[in-house]
Structure 1
Amino acid sequence: MATTEAVKAKTLLGECAAEFAGTFILILFGCGVVAQVVAGGIGDHDSIAWAWGLGVTMGIYVAGRMTGAHLNPAVTIALAAFRGFSWRKVLPYSLAQFLGAFLAALVVRWNYTEALNKFDPGLTRKSQIVFSTLPGNGSTELGVHLWGGFRDQIIGTAILMLLILAITDLRNTAPAANLAPFIVGLVVVGIGMAWGTNAGYAINPARDFGPRLASFLTGYGGAFKDQWGDLYFWVPIVAPILGALLGALLYDLLVGRFLPISDEDEEPGRIPEENTSA
């Protein structure tokens, strides 16, 4: 019995390590490109969208074999609610994702110290957007407030989750030759290009809160509030979770329940039975 428990613990540790590593890579690309554009003046909105998408792709390739590469607590929760993923693993996966995002943001903060300090000596919201999202991307001109960002994050994450399920559902037209990570990356590029105005398309609680905390601990005193003075940090945590649940529900209602059932299909996010530590 003790040996079995040890094997299970090792398996869960390996899965969490993979989630940590995949999310770490995602944030290195994502926050790195925003720092380069904002503080370094190199690139534009399109390079940000593409780099975030590439970060997702590379993160999935890093963690895909071990876990299916959730890289996002909202995705993990939706897979537990709709695809039989073990609820016991939700918290460990989420913590690993947050930690990966946090440490990757610290690397970006360290590497771009000179550029950030020169661009924004006071470390204000002018460069805060390198690490975390704000309604209207920190602008007051658009008039987007907290609840506008909340609405936007539900919609954006619902789109993400619905498409992840569509792309990874083997009963559907799933990409062949291990191309799913690339296609999911393109989904993130598309969301960035179409849904980035109102709230910066966090669509991932770990992606936002990990770097937000890292920036707060390294000099950004206003990191938890938006430009209107509202406590905003909770919006990119709660809204993406609701959005992911909505997206999974919509996929199953509109598509999934009409597809043929196959005993050989492996559900997204579920580790093969012999490797499961649930």
Structure 2
Amino acid sequence: MQPEKGQNAKSFKQRLVLKSSLAKETLSEFLGTFIMIVLGCGSVAQAILSRGHFGGIVTINVGFATAVAMAIYVTGGVSGGHINPAVTFAMCLFGRMKWFKLPFYMGAQFLGAFAGAATLFGIYYDGLMSFAGGKLLIVGENATAHIFATYPAPYLSLANAFADQVVATMFLLMIVFAIFDSRNLGVPRGLEPIVIGLLIIVISCSLGLNSGCAMNPARDLGPRFFTALAGWGFEVFTPGSPALGKQNHFTPRRSKMRGCGLGLLLP
């Protein structure tokens, strides 16, 4: 009887194993983006909801960068740890990944970001409700929408917003691909995610003022869509709304995809 139980247990474990490599990669991207949002946006939530007593701009930048590094450590060996549609698009554009995988990767990234935002909302639900007397606000001193998504500064014009996102994403992709380029000085194997985390810190510290330096369509759009459904309302998507300054909300997403192409052309 004992060997039979062992065989049944082994059979059950085998059923849990994904046999399709694409399924493994898709699940990996979902998990990586989920980790990035829960830990990264979590650092923002802690700073905002504590009104600066348990965090600030430094902890947010370091927290988000470390979240990205940890997500890459978890997923890098399976899917490459893209956790960013701009990275996936660039990989396909330059022949480093097959195009048919693009929708699977991107879909997993957006869903992972949405799920991460939903999880964070649940973790900090009581804090969100008490922060502004039960109101979920997009603008004002008690606004909480920017915990989940990035919003432009009120002064930012359409052209400036576009350029801001193109340049930030260009630097991200250019340096990430340089890190993994064997023709360069190289980074000790296993330390690449840490170096990418440092890269995100420096970009956030230097190019984050205008619009939060998202550099990642999934990181912004997934949580933004969640906030629209969770109670902040679809004003989070409205072009020209007070929350979005002077720019069209969708421009940063287009500019990120353009910036990824420029970033790969420069190395």
What's the TM-score once normalised by structure 1's chain length?
0.82
Per-residue CA distance 1:132-191 (angstroms, 9 max, x = gap): 11112xxx3xx1134322221111000000000110112212211310011011111111
Contact 2:156 2:246 in 1 (8 A): no
Choose the corresponding residue for 1:113, options 107, 122, 125. 125
Deviation (angstroms), 1:85: 1.2
Choose the corresponding residue for 2:216, options 200, 204, 212. 204
Q: Which residue is 2:13 aligned to?
A: none
Q: Which residue is 1:243 aligned to?
A: 259
Q: Which residue is 1:172 aligned to?
A: 184
Q: Which structure has the bigger radius of gyration?
A: 2
Contact 1:209 1:233 in 2 (8 A): no
Q: Which residue is 1:37 aligned to?
A: 47
Q: Structure 1: how far apart are the matches of 2:112 and 2:252?
A: 17
Distance change in 2, residues 1:147/1:133 (3 Å): farther
Q: Structure 1: how far apart are the matches of 2:32 and 2:211?
A: 24
Q: Which residue is 1:133 aligned to?
A: 150
Q: Structure 1: how far apart are the matches of 2:131 and 2:110?
A: 27
| Alignment of structure 1 residues 47-62 onto 2, 5 Å | 47-62=59-74
Q: Structure 1: how far apart are the matches of 2:42 and 2:166?
A: 25
Q: Structure 2: how far apart are the matches of 1:213 and 1:151?
A: 24
2:230 maps to 1:218: yes
| Alignment of structure 1 residues 77-88 onto 2, 5 Å | 77-88=89-100
Deviation (angstroms), 1:96: 0.4
Deviation (angstroms), 1:116: 1.6
Q: Structure 2: how far apart are the matches of 1:18 and 1:80?
A: 18
Q: Secondary structure at the match of 2:32?
A: helix
Q: Secondary structure at the match of 2:30?
A: helix
Contact 1:156 1:201 in 2 (8 A): yes
Deviation (angstroms), 1:233: 3.8
2:31 maps to 1:21: yes
Unaligned runs of 5+ in 2: 1-17
Contact 2:157 2:247 in 1 (8 A): no
Contact 1:135 1:145 in 2 (8 A): no
2:87 maps to 1:75: yes
Q: Structure 2: how far apart are the matches of 1:111 and 1:146?
A: 35
Q: Structure 1: how far apart are the matches of 2:257 and 2:89?
A: 7
Taking only aligned residues, the RMSD between alpha carbons, in angstroms, comes to 1.7
2:136 maps to 1:123: yes
Contact 2:173 2:264 in 1 (8 A): yes
Q: Structure 1: how far apart are the matches of 2:207 and 2:92?
A: 26
Contact 2:152 2:245 in 1 (8 A): no
Deviation (angstroms), 1:231: 7.4
Contact 2:161 2:247 in 1 (8 A): no
Q: Which residue is 2:250 aligned to?
A: 234
Q: Structure 1: how far apart are the matches of 2:259 and 2:216?
A: 10
Q: Which residue is 1:101 aligned to?
A: 113
Deviation (angstroms), 1:9: 7.5
More relative contact order, 1 or 2 (CA 8 Å, 6+ apart): 1
Q: Secondary structure at the match of 1:169?
A: coil
Unaligned runs of 5+ in 1: 1-7, 252-278
Contact 1:49 1:192 in 2 (8 A): yes
Q: Structure 2: how far apart are the matches of 1:88 and 1:49?
A: 34
2:199 maps to 1:187: yes
Q: Structure 1: how far apart are the matches of 2:99 and 2:225?
A: 26
Q: Structure 1: how far apart are the matches of 2:258 and 2:223?
A: 21
Per-residue CA distance 1:77-97 (angstroms, 9 max, x = gap): 011112431111111100000
Report the AA paired with residue 244 of structure 1: C
Q: Structure 1: how far apart are the matches of 2:22 and 2:58?
A: 37
Q: Structure 2: how far apart are the matches of 1:96 and 1:88?
A: 14
Tell which deviates more after alignment, 230-239 or 208-217. 230-239
Contact 1:150 1:235 in 2 (8 A): yes
What's the TM-score once normalised by structure 2's chain length?
0.85
